[in-house]
Structures are given as structure tokens and as C-alpha cells.
Amino acid sequence: MFSGLGRFVVRRPWWIILAWVVAAGAVISLAPKLTSSSDEASFLPDHYESIRAADVQEKDFPRQQNIGAIIVFQRSDGKKLTAADSADVRRVSKDLQGQKIPEVQAVVPGQVSPNKLVQTSVVAMPKITNPEDTAQQDAVKRLRADLQPELKGTDLSAGITGSAAQALDESDASKRAGLLVGVGTIVIIVVLLLVIFRSPIIALLPVVLIGLISPMATGLIASANKAFGMKADSSIQELLTVVLFGVGTDYILFLLFRYREALRAGEDVKGGMVHAVERVGEAITSAAGAVIVAFAALTLSSLGMLQSMGPALAIAVFVTLLAGLTLVPAVVSLLGTKVFWPSKSWQREPHGTGFARLGASVARRPAVWALVSALVMGALTLGALGYRANFDLAGSSLPKDKESMVALDDLQKGFPAGTTDPTSVYLTSTADEPLAPSSAAAFRERLSGVTGVGEVAAAKLSPDRTTASYAVILADPPASDKALATVKDRLRPTAHDDAPTGTRALVGGTTAVYVDINKAVDRDYSVVFPVAALAIMVILGLLLRSLVAPWYLMLSVALGFGATLGATSLLFQQIGSQPGLMFMLPVIMYLFVVALGTDYNILMVSRLREEAREGRTPRDAAGTAVRHSGPTIGSAGVILAGTFATLMLAGNSTLSQMGFSLSFGIVIAAFVMAMVFTPALTALIGHAAWWPGHGDERREGAGAGTGGSGGRGGVPGSDGDEGEGEGEERAGGATRGR
């Protein structure tokens, strides 16, 4: 199949290139814009309590003012506020309301804090119904511009925080993050490819080709989101950039390494590309299939952000695979040997290198290498015991010098941390009869007695007096572990149990949304993880025709996942003193480490099987596979890890955690799992690893010790070449019949 595809592509390269250009132009011109949301509530299913509480608010309190932003006033000298200062706060608030800024319903001055250090004005805005609408962010921008002139001549300083202000600051930070990630990704790929191949053409090849398919993939994702009503979270664009460039560069590398190998063995330009597609096609298709099914498993998530992220990344990988099997071979077959210009190293075989020594050592002592690599991953896995989830995607991802974060810190000098985002409790009559005032007042007293509650405002009744709304200010920040525990363990049970007879209570608001997200994520762990693992095992079983190999291959990626989560927890929570890791990071990490780790395992085991079919013993086959595939996997791993690491340039903790965990996971997958643990374990298990398919049986006409396939890959500093002996060079031509 792949041989026929290779012949078709090299015979009609210009038609293939033209087809891609036309398809890309059509998709880009017709596709809608890819949008994203940071509104966590919009990702939850309707049956969760926080969403049902929001429905009550929309039904019974449609005109209830929403706290869109909070202006935090304090004296510039840090002293206590005076009566004159409070008068200035009232004047400034009145003047700002008089500006008639769109989306600003009112600017209402509040009371001075008990310690006299802070006073606030609440900016009322409509409830957001469309996450793509940036009108409230524009309103905050206007408020900030108008606020400073109003403060001249006073002793006050002020800043604006709250949900709309955080959304504005996050949008500004994301634009910077997207630029840094995009530029950083391209720079890393170009520099590493230049070091590996010493060829500017190869260095620019992924940038040009993936630059063509990237907007095409984005357009297809945006069209799918619109067609199926999916929502993407605010980090999807940066993640798409590194996935497309990282995975795409990996597939290009795999193809180029085999292409160079075929040229060294005496193939002509066209025949060499056909051979490369034939040999690499099955491996990268299976590897891409593993990634795609892992991402597709996210559709089983109960969270809309993950339901959308899964198909989006799966589409990106699928488009990248198609390009790797058609567009890249077409372009390279046209360039021929000029693709390696000006380097001449593709013409000669290198001798004894680090990968050759590593392969020989793995062949001699597979038990030692398997044990050492397992202990390394197991030790790092212990760090995962300290993992804590953080649900504040907006606040935790913002740099601390952003105005909304500075103003939030100032607010907490005088008011409970939950002031910016009160929790809402709704008490509704089940008989559609008006609530008794005494019952509503008594219920408020019960809520006020809950540990962790700062204060509870007087009840507001709906027009028909059948529902009462209570604004509950928590003593802790809305996204903190303490606030979540207050809502989950005390406030909700109290509201449900102490609701008067004939009524029901619902607890909503941002903190309640986080509690429900936590519950949804726990459910997703029990569904998405095993489904993704089972799907990948099926692909491995079909590729290797074995029931044994998939089990220990998945064991290796499970250890890699544990090690990655442990290292990330240690770095950011213990050393970095962050409150926790992004709540959905373990899911994303699991899918990337498992799927991409399986990529490298597939490449290693496929090569190991290939060497075994040449008549090598299990240990010799493992050593030879490490010697030949090690440079390829090492180079690909370094480049992919480098592209993920660019997420750390974004300047916020969410993307920094994601960037570190994914790059570290790729390093573990490439240099520990695929290069050491998997071949060592395969050598120990021996022929039984291929049961019942006997995929390692010696093929007719193959001779032991003649199976090496010419030049294999490269690593930095070696002109892209590693460790083949002269015997393999002489035997290279014999491999054409394999």
C-alpha cells in the first residue's frame, strides 16, 4: 500500500503540491474564525448544580446586575481613608457612570473596609451570554483610561479588577503569548535542524510546509467547532501551533532519515523516496493513529473544553500525517539530493558513536538497563503523590504585575477575598407559592453560620416572590482550595439540608462551577484514561500482530506519565510554591505522553522487529535497533520537546506548566522509554514478545548479521549521522529486499 502511494507521489509531485495549495486556499477562505472561551461555566453539562443555579438566575432574576468589575481605591500614602477620600470615591464613581460607557450599567460606590484601608466601587454589567463578545473588555479599557484623570488632585490611587478586567488582561497576555510561542517554535526548529543536518533547506522545509498546512488545519478545526457546536478553551491556539510544528517536524525527520539511508544504499532520487515512504509509512501512520485515537478519546469527557480540544488536535495530527505521506515526499523528490545542500555528509557512513555503544550495552545487560530506567521513572512518579488541582484558569495564568491582579491584592487588604466574585445561593418554592419573609431571613442566618463564609447579603426576591437570591461572600479567594472546600463540604450541604419545607436550594457562582468541574474531571479520569489506553493497545496489537508487546509498551508509557506528573508537581508546587497544577493538565499530559510516547515506542519496536527478521537474536536485535533508531528518535525528541518548551515563553503559569510537563514527558518518552526501557524489556522477553503473531521470525533469504540498513539518522554535532559500522554499509544494498 505505502509503496504504491510513494510511487504515485514521486511520479506526480507537481500535481500533489498544486492539490495541497488549492485545498489550503479553499479551506482558509471559507472557514470561520477559530474562537475560544475562558468562561469555565460554559464548558459544563446542564445537569451540574452550578449550571442549574445559573438557569434559576436567568429565569427569576433576568435583570439582576452582574459584578463585571470592581474599582479598588486606597490612599497613595497607604494610610487610612478619610471622609474626604470617601467623598472623592463617590464623586469619581458618579463621573464614570456619567460617561455612559457601553456595557456599564452602573458604578456604585461601596462602604469603606472595616480597617479603613480600602474602598470599592462596583461596576455593574450585563451577564455574558456570548463568550466571544469582547464588549465588556472594551468597557474596562475605557474605564481604566477615564479613571486616572479623575484621580488627579486627590490623595487616592485605584485599579480595576473583577472578571471583565481579568478577561481583558488575559486577552492581552494571550496575544503576547501567541507571538512568543509561534516565533520561539520556528526558531527552535530551524536552529536544531541546522545543527543536525547542516542544511538550510532542510531547516526551512518544515517551516514552509507546515506554515502552509497550519492555517488549513486551523480552518478545518474552526469549521468543525461551528458545525458541532464545540467550544475551545483559551489556550488552544498556542497548543495547536506546537502540535502542528512539533509533530509535523517529527514526521518529516522520520521520512528524511529513511530517504538518506536509501540514497546511501545506492537508490536513485525517485526510488529512494518510494523506499522511504514504504518503510516509514506504516510506522508514522500507526503512530499518528495512536495520537488521533488518544485525542479522540477526549470526546468522552464531560467538559466542553476537552470535548473540543480532542477533535481539534486529532484533526491537526491527521492533516499533518497526510502532508507527511504526500506533500513532503513530493517536495523532497523534486529537490533530490539538493535538499541536503551544502552538506556532503549524506554520502558517507559514520562510525562508532554514542548510540552504537548504548545499543551494545543494552544488548549485553538488558536486565540492568530495564531496572535502572524503571527505577528512574518510578522515583519521579513519587512526586505525583503531592499533586493538587488548581481551577483558576484566568487568575492563575496572569502575570502578577497585570492591573487586575495588583488591584485584587489591594482589595484583600480590607475585604474578604471572595468579594470580587460572590457565590450565589437560590432558595425556590417548590409549590410556586411566595416565600415567607421569616423563612427567607432564617435561611440567611443558617448560611451566615457556615465556616468559611465571610458575610451573606440580605435576600433579594424575584418579582413573583417565589425565589430568594443570596450573595454569599467567601472568606477565601474564589478559586482556592479553601473556598472550594467551603462550598463543597459545608455551604452546599447546609443549603440543601436547612432549606425550609416546601423549598429547594441551589448553590451557584464561580466557586461552585470549580467544584463541579472538579467532580467532572474525576469522572473523566475514570473514563478517558482507560478508553485511550485500550484504543492505543488495539493499534499496537494490529501493527505488531502481538498480544504481549502492547502490555509492556503501555506499561512503559504509564511509567513515563507518572514520572512526568511527578516532576511537574515537584517543580511548580514544591519548588515554585504554586497553589496547584492546572486541573486538566493530567488529562492533557496523559494523552500527549501516552500518544507521543507510543510514537517513539512504535518506531523503536518496528525497527527491532525488522532486525529480528534478519535473523538476529532478541538481544542483538535490540542493540542494533537502538544503534540505528536511536539517532532518529533522539533528534525527533529534542525537536518536539523544544517546541513544547516554547509554551514556557508565554509568561503565565498555565502555559508554563503545560510547556514544561509536555517537553519533559517527550524527553522521558524518547530517551528513557523508547531508547532504553522498551528495547531492554523486549530483549529480556525474547521471542515471546511477539506471541501469537511471530512477527520476529526470520524471513526467507535473510541472513544473521546482515540486516543493518545503511545510514540512520543523526543527533546534534554529528552531521545528522550516528553509529553504523562499515559492515552495515556493505550490507545496505541487501536491505532493499526486506
Calpha distance 623→631 (Å, rounded): 13
Helix extents (H) in 614-685 = 618-645, 653-668, 678-685
Cell numbers placing 472: 454569599
Reading the block at residue 704, the C-alpha cell is 544473521
SS3 233: strand
pLDDT confidence bin for 302, thresholds 50/70/90: confident
pLDDT of residue 371: 95
Least confident range of 62-76, 224-238, 615-629, 717-731 = 717-731
SS (H, E, C) 370-423: HHHHHHHHHHHHHHHHHCCEECCCCCCCCCCCCHHHHHHHHHCCCCCHHHHCCE
- Which has the minimum average pLDDT: 310-314, 719-723, 726-730? 726-730
Compute the average pLDDT of residues 606-623. Answer: 86
Would the pLDDT of 584 be above 70? yes
Q: pLDDT tens-digit profile of 156-186?
A: 999 998 888 888 877 776 666 667 767 777 8
Pairing mode, if any, of strands 467-474 and 423-429?
A: antiparallel
- How far apart are the C-alpha atoms of 166 and 426, rounded to whole Å? 26
Q: What is the DSSP string of 176-196?
A: HHHHHHHHHHHHHHHHHHHHH
φ, ψ for residue 620 (rounded to 5)? Answer: -65, -40
Angstrom distance (rounded) from CA 124 to CA 615? 77
pLDDT at site 498: 92
State the pLDDT at residue 396.
58
For residue 370, count other CB atoms closer than 10 A to its CB: 23
Residue 650: the pLDDT is 65
| pLDDT score recorded for residue 724 | 37
Instruction: Give the mean model confidence (pLDDT) for residues 401-410.
Output: 84
Average pLDDT estimate for 147-157: 92
pTM equals 0.74
HEC letters along 501-534 = CCEEEEEECHHHHHHHHHHHHHHHHHHHHHHHHH
Give the residue from 573, 727, 720 showing the smallest Cα distance to 656.
Answer: 573
The predicted pLDDT at position 648 comes to 79
Decide: helix, strand or coil at residue 584: coil
Mean pLDDT, rounded, for 637-653: 78
* Percentage above 70 pLDDT, the chain: 85
